[in-house]
C-alpha cells in the first residue's frame, strides 16, 4: 500500500487550491498511488492524523475546476514552527502508520523549512520509503529557487486592477487629497510593485511607489508628496506594509508593540496609517489610508489564468518528482523566454527555499526610490495575463468546502 498525503500551510492565496488540484489530478492517474489523503490544518493535522479522503471528495473534472476557483486553503492552514525532534518523530510515525509514501506540503518560506527539517530527519535516521516534497505558494513572491511563486500572479492582478480603479476614483473632486494604499509584503516589495501595472492601459496609476527594499525617509516622503500635490489634484501612493525607516525599523513599529509570531516574525500592519498621520501633520491636506489586507490573497474572481495554469502544473511536478523517488526538493517555475512568455518546471533542493527571501533587485527600483523601472514591468506583465473560467451561482462565484 502506497498512499499520498498533501497539506497546505501559511497564508492562503487565490491559486493555492489549483496546486492542490494539480496534485490530486496527477495522483489519480498514477498506478503507484492507492489512496490520496488531505491533512486538515497543515502539519498540525498531520500530527493529529486529521485526514480526509480526497478521492472521495474530488471525483470528477468539474469538482477539480471548482476547487481551482475556490479561494483560501481548502484543506485549512496553520503557522506552526517545528522546534523539536519529538514533533518530527511524531510526523514520521504518522506517515508510516498510514502507509504514506509521498508527502507534499504546499506553502511558502516557513513551510519549506518544515520540509527541510523532515527531510533531514529522515536522512539522519536512515528512514526510507517516504518522499517529502514542497510545492511553492505565496503572494509575496519572495521564495528563492523559482522565477515566481504560484499565487503571486493572481494577487498582482488584483492589485493592478484595484489601483486602476482607485486612480479614477481619486480624481473626481477638485479638492486636493492624498490616498495611501498599504499592500502586503513583509520584506519583499514584489506585490506593491504590481501596482505599477495599473498603468498598462494608459491610466496614471500610483504617483508614488515605496517598496520594502528602499528605506523610507519621512522628510523625503513629505517632499515627494508635496511635489506631486503641486502637479496634481490628487496623489495616489502604494506602500509595502513592511516598508522600513532608514534605521531599519518597520514604519508600522511606531504605533504597535514588538509582537512576533511563532516563526519570530514581527507583526506588521499599519504603515499606511502612520504615513497618513505624517501627511496630515506636515501638509494638512485631506488624506486617507487604505489597508487592502486579506482581499489581496482571496480575490479568486480576479484569478490570473496564467497563475492558475502554472499553479496546477507545479502541483503535478511535485507528484511526478515524488513518484520518481525525489525527496527534499521543491517544485519550481523556470522562465525560459520573456517574449513570447514561456516557462518550464523543475526542482530545487529544499535548502535553497527554506528560510530565504528573494528581494526586488536594486535596478528594478527607480533611483529616487519611489517607483519601479521597466525591468519590473516586463517581469510582471506576463504573470497577470488571462482570466480563469469562473462559474457563478446566485450572482456570486461558486466555491467548495472539503471539510
Q: What average pLDDT does the segment 99-113 reach?
A: 96
Compute the distance between CA of residue 191 and CA of residue 150 in angstroms, rounded to an integer: 13
Compute the distance between CA of residue 176 and CA of residue 230 in angstroms, rounded to an integer: 9
Q: Which residues have CB under 8 Å from 293's CB, separation 6+? A: 184, 269
Q: What average pLDDT does the segment 361-378 reach?
A: 97
Interval 7-55: pLDDT, tens: 999 999 999 999 999 999 999 999 999 999 999 999 999 999 999 999 9
Which residues of the chain are in CATH 3.40.50.450 domains? 3-139+300-355+386-397
State the chain's mean pLDDT as an integer: 95
Compute the distance between CA of residue 364 and CA of residue 384 in angstroms, rounded to an integer: 18
Query: What pLDDT, on a 0 to 100 scale, did the predictor assign at position 355?
Result: 82
Q: Is the dihedral of CA 351, 8, 136, 123 positive or negative?
A: positive
Query: What pLDDT, on a 0 to 100 scale, did the predictor assign at position 174?
Result: 87
Q: Give the CB-side neighbour count of residue 23, counting CA atoms within 13 A.
A: 30
| 3-state SS assignment for residue 182 | strand
Which residues of the chain are in CATH 3.40.50.460 domains? 152-298
Interval 112-164: pLDDT, tens: 999 999 999 999 999 999 999 999 999 999 999 999 999 999 999 999 999 99
Q: If DSSP states are collapsed to H, E and C, what string results for 308-342?
A: HHHHHHHHHHHHHHHHCCCCCEEEEEEEEECCCCE
Residue 257 pLDDT level (bands cut at 50, 70, 90): low
% of residues, the chain, pLDDT over 70? 96
Residue 245 reports pLDDT greater than 60: yes
% of residues, the chain, pLDDT over 90? 92
Q: What average pLDDT does the segment 199-209 reach?
A: 97
Compute the distance between CA of residue 345 and CA of residue 230 in angstroms, rounded to an integer: 49
Residue 225 reports pLDDT greater than 80: yes
User: Pick from 125, 105, 128: which is nearest to 10 by CA?
Assistant: 105
Look up cell 510582471; give the residue.
Answer: 380
Query: What pLDDT, on a 0 to 100 scale, did the predictor assign at position 262?
Result: 57
User: Pick from 377, 341, 338, 386: which is nearest to 200 by CA?
Assistant: 377
Q: Can 247 be counted among the known catalytic residues? A: no
Residue 106 reports pLDDT greater than 70: yes
Q: If DSSP states are collapsed to H, E and C, what string results for 5-27?
A: EEEECCCCCCCHHHHHHHHHHHH
DSSP designation for 40: T
Q: What average pLDDT does the segment 361-376 reach?
A: 97
Query: What pLDDT, on a 0 to 100 scale, did the predictor assign at position 267?
Result: 56
Cell numbers for 277? 498621520
Query: What pLDDT, on a 0 to 100 scale, did the predictor assign at position 298?
Result: 93
Q: What average pLDDT does the segment 297-324 reach?
A: 97
Q: Which of 110, 113, 140, 371 is catalytic?
A: 140
Compute the distance between CA of residue 146 and CA of residue 332 in angstroms, rounded to an integer: 5
* Strands annotated E in 253-326: 286-291
User: Pick from 31, 145, 116: which is nearest to 351 by CA?
Assistant: 116
Interval 332-354: pLDDT, tens: 999 999 899 999 999 999 999 99
Residue 266 reports pLDDT greater than 70: no
Say which CATH topology domain 3-139+300-355+386-397 has.
Answer: Rossmann fold (3.40.50)
Its pTM stands at: 0.95
Say which CATH topology domain 152-298 has.
Answer: Rossmann fold (3.40.50)
Compute the distance between CA of residue 368 and CA of residue 142 in angstroms, rounded to an integer: 23
**Contact criterion met (CB below 8 Å) for 358 and 343:** no
Amino acid at each position: 500500500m502506497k498512499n499520498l498525503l498533501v497539506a497546505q500551510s501559511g497564508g492562503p492565496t487565490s491559486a493555492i487550491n489549483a496546486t492542490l488540484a494539480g496534485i490530486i489530478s496527477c495522483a489519480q492517474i498514477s498506478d503507484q498511488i492507492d489512496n490520496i489523503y488531505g491533512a486538515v490544518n497543515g502539519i498540525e493535522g498531520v500530527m493529529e492524523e486529521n485526514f480526509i479522503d480526497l478521492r472521495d471528495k474530488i471525483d470528477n473534472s468539474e469538482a477539480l475546476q471548482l476547487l481551482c476557483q475556490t479561494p483560501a486553503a481548502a484543506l485549512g492552514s496553520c503557522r506552526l514552527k517545528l522546534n523539536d525532534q519529538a514533533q518530527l518523530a511524531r510526523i514520521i510515525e504518522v506517515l508510516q502508520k498510514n502507509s504514506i509514501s509521498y508527502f507534499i506540503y504546499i506553502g511558502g518560506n516557513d513551510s519549506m523549512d518544515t520540509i527541510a527539517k523532515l527531510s533531514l530527519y529522515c536522512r539522519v535516521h536512515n528512514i526510507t520509503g517516504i518522499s517529502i516534497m514542497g510545492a511553492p505558494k505565496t503572494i509575496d513572491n519572495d521564495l528563492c529557487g523559482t522565477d515566481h511563486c504560484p499565487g503571486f500572479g493572481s494577487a498582482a492582478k488584483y492589485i493592478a486592477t484595484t489601483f486602476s480603479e482607485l486612480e479614477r476614483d481619486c480624481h473626481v473632486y477638485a479638492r486636493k487629497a492624498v490616498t495611501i494604499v498599504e499592500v502586503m509584503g513583509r520584506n519583499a516589495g514584489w506585490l506593491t510593485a504590481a501596482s505599477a501595472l495599473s498603468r498598462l492601459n494608459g491610466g496614471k496609476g500610483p504617483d508614488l511607489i515605496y517598496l520594502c527594499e528602499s528605506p523610507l525617509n519621512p522628510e523625503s516622503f513629505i517632499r515627494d508628496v508635496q511635489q506631486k500635490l503641486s502637479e496634481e489634484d490628487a496623489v495616489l501612493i502604494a506602500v509595502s506594509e513592511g516598508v522600513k525607516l532608514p534605521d531599519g525599523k518597520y514604519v508600522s513599529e511606531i504605533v504597535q508593540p514588538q509582537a512576533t509570531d511563532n516563526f519570530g516574525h514581527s507583526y506588521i500592519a499599519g504603515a499606511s496609517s502612520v504615513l497618513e498621520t505624517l501627511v496630515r501633520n506636515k501638509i494638512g491636506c485631506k488624506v486617507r489610508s487604505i489597508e487592502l489586507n486579506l482581499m489581496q490573497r482571496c480575490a479568486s474572481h480576479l484569478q490570473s489564468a496564467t497563475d492558475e495554469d502554472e499553479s496546477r502544473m507545479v502541483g503535478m511536478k511535485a507528484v511526478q518528482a515524488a513518484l520518481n523517488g525525489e525527496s527534499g526538493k521543491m517544485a519550481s517555475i523556470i522562465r525560459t523566454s520573456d517574449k513570447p512568455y514561456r516557462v518550464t518546471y523543475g526542482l530545487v533542493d529544499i535548502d535553497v527555499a527554506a528560510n530565504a527571501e528573494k528581494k526586488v533587485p536594486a535596478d528594478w527600483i527607480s533611483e529616487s526610490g519611489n517607483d519601479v523601472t521597466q525591468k519590473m514591468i516586463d517581469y510582471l506583465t506576463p504573470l497577470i495575463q488571462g482570466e480563469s473560467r469562473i462559474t457563478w451561482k446566485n450572482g456570486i462565484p461558486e466555491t467548495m468546502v472539503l471539510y
